[in-house]
Amino acid sequence: MSEKIVLVTGATRGLGRGMARGLASRGHVVAITGRDQAQLDAVVEEIERSGGKGIPLLCDHRDDDAVERAFAQLAERTDGRLDLLVNNAAAVYGLDLVAPGGFWEKPLRLADMITIGLRSSYVAAYHAAPLMVAAGRGLIASISFYGAVSYFHGPAYGAAKAGTDKMTADMAVDLAPHGVSVVSFWPGFILTDAVKAMPPDMIPEDLRAAMPHWETPEFSGLVLDRLAQDPDLAALSGQALIGAELGERYGIRDTDGKQPLSYRATMGAPTPFAPPVRQG
């Protein structure tokens, strides 16, 4: 097990928090961003209990200057090293997302998902790329979902995810000559800490029936760790990859022993973008 420098954005709750724990279990230095210092400190404690070393970075991904400062702090703490960036920061307004009605009938703030999600991933990659290019290696993984290719929670959500996949494909073209890879990563439905803490009688019956198949967030961390070590990583750069399928490829099961499901057949498959057209 080799120690790597990892950064997970938006890691004070949900998928990001669990991925940080999963990556920490592999013995890595795991830096995390978040807007609340107390929450950051709590996640750092979880990272260190899981076997890693934590670096808390106070950062609001709406603020480009704050992101720049966070990367400067990270570079100072790690001598300029960054092996894996996981772009997970997102604007999540759960009740607004699932409310009935058309997009024009819901709060306009749902468009924040395009800013804190798609744009914030671009900005983080912008600051991570120079560190990785200087080292001639690294992986940038941005969290996406099946909503990139099928209707899921409406147009703002879909635009953020579809944009993430295309952004990934184009970043891969720029980064390929420098030995740096970039992927869009599709987890499945996630059994977050908050979901696990919900009383069963508050969960709709259809969701309760499906939840045994949901993934722990730690699973995504374990899969991304293995992906970063794949000798064929460069061949996967630019693609949108389904976490459950990577788990099968690498022989990784979830922390409870199950093999998470791919929803390719029911929710759609990643878009295979055409290769770049070379000029001249």
Q: Which residue has the tokens 């993984």?
A: 141
First and final C-alpha spacing in the chain: 45
Q: Which residue has the tokens 């022993």?
A: 257
Active site residue 157: yes
CA distances from 103 to 83, 159, 161, 231 (A): 39, 12, 16, 43
> Which entry of 126, 157, 250, 263 is annotated as an active-site residue?
157
Task: Provide φ and ψ at 57, rounded to 5°.
Answer: -130, 105
Identity at 28, one-letter amino acid code:
H
DSSP SS3 for 211? helix
The Cα 173–Cα 159 span in angstroms is: 21
**H or E element, residue 133:** helix 120-135
Give the active site residues: 157
